[in-house]
Structure 1
């Protein structure tokens, strides 16, 4: 059985953020570039619940990990 595939917009919904294309683009633009040495879950703009979710998704290699990696890469582009 294959793990569920989550879309980028679903990650934003899971994080309680607006998930339309314009809002996602604005979020990434506002918070980029994320310093290379700063782990995504430790970024100062996350709430505790958001940071915990991101940390768990990456630590557990959960079905969210791939889309969380995509967000990480998107936030590191200058």
Structure 2
């Protein structure tokens, strides 16, 4: 089991940024407006790519880029940065 010391072992800003976006997007679909079941695409950061399960995508690492993974029906199931 890893040692966790509050204030000493903390998530990086990238992880907290990812967690913040995951909280906003998880379980929602991307659309034209934000409401209880959708999130407006225009409100996503400029460096965002939306990835479907069968999408081809580059493996280059860009820490500022947000990756929004969606199911076949368009529901967000994962958010990462890189």
Q: Which has the higher helix share?
A: 1
Q: TM-score, normalised by structure 1?
A: 0.29
Q: Which has the higher strand share?
A: 2
Bigger Cα Rg: 2
